[in-house]
A = this chain, B = another copy of it.
Amino acid sequence: MLTAPLTIWAIPGIPEIVTGDDLAEVIGQREIDLRDGDILAVTSKIVSKAEGRFVQADDRDQAITDETVRVVATRGMTRIVENRLGIVGAAAGVDGSNTPVGTVLLLPLDPDASAAALRAALEARFNVRLGVIITDTLGRAWREGQTDVAIGSSGVRVLDDLRGTLDAQGRRLDVTVPAVGDEIAAAADLVKGKSEGLPVAVVRGVGHLLDPEAPGARVLTRTGPNDMFRLGSDEAYAEGFAAGKASHGQGV
């Protein structure tokens, strides 16, 4: 059985990104050899910086509120919210590390569109078929620590729907839909790191996931009726308590 290796490496020497930088130009100027089927995993931070998504740090709380669609849970200083991209996480993605002093950084306005633009420019420059994934770091319910996930993508199937395929005994694998976009983001984080100035990784060996028509990473977000955790337990309990108390004497 042939098993193609997966190889992932960070592109060295990417300079500090400032507002107005052309990321395809910055990445393209590095010594890289991009091939058909490669996927670039790009930290959302440099996309935001290139797009000038800075706000003054003294407005950080206001920035979080502005980016928030819905508060899910609050505990102490921690605000778990759904942001305007449909992503549930702490602080709505407003980022205060590795930004110029006095500023914080918002997420890209439309990470799927940013990924599509970067892909188009790099494909033209290198004359290859690529995928682009824009990553961010998210905490998780029930698990310690954070992992990188895909918040934007272009040209890559981020959900690899195996429903309908058969297992080795001929039974259907009917509930398995690997979130390969998130798995690629997580894999890339292992070489990009957080503080070393390595915001772009090349992922080679999963070219079978390339699909120019694939929907963006927005499909990875689950909100609305399928979300069993739309509120933190304390918040939902408190809502229920108030409603239960009010219901008394109303024949409920």
Query: Is A178 among interface residues, defined by CB-CB distance under 8 A?
Result: yes
A127-148 residues at the B interface, CB under 8 angstroms: 137, 140-148
Which stretch of A18-26, A46-54, A116-124, A226-234 is in the interface?
A226-234
* Interface core residue of A196, A240, A247 (most chain B CB under 10 Å): A240
Q: How far, in Å, is A231 (CB) from chain B's closest CB?
A: 4
Nearest opposing residue in chain B for A140, CB measure = B140
Further contacts, 13 of them, CB under 8 A, given A73-B229, A166-B195, A233-B233: A6-B187, A7-B7, A73-B228, A142-B229, A145-B220, A146-B178, A148-B183, A190-B205, A237-B243, A240-B241, A241-B243, A244-B246, A245-B252
> B12 touching A3 by the CB < 8 A rule?
yes
- Tallying the copies of this chain within the complex gives 2
Residues of chain B lying within 8 A (CB to CB) of residue A168: 16, 98, 195, 197
> A142 touching B88 by the CB < 8 A rule?
yes
Residues of chain B lying within 8 A (CB to CB) of residue A142: 82, 87-88, 141, 221-223, 227, 229
The 9 A-B residue pairs with the shortest CB-CB distance, nearest first, are A244-B244, A240-B240, A145-B179, A187-B187, A237-B240, A236-B236, A241-B244, A240-B241, A88-B142
Q: Which of B75, B180, B182 contacts A228 (CB 8 A)?
A: B75
> A179 touching B240 by the CB < 8 A rule?
no
Residues of chain B lying within 8 A (CB to CB) of residue A100: 169
Residues of chain B lying within 8 A (CB to CB) of residue A214: none
Residues of chain B lying within 8 A (CB to CB) of residue A109: none
Residues of chain B lying within 8 A (CB to CB) of residue A197: 1, 168
Q: How far, in Å, is A143 (CB) from chain B's closest CB?
A: 5
Query: Is A198 among interface residues, defined by CB-CB distance under 8 A?
Result: yes
* Interface core residue of A96, A99, A142 (most chain B CB under 10 Å): A142
| Measured CA separation A73–B177 after assembly (Å) | 21
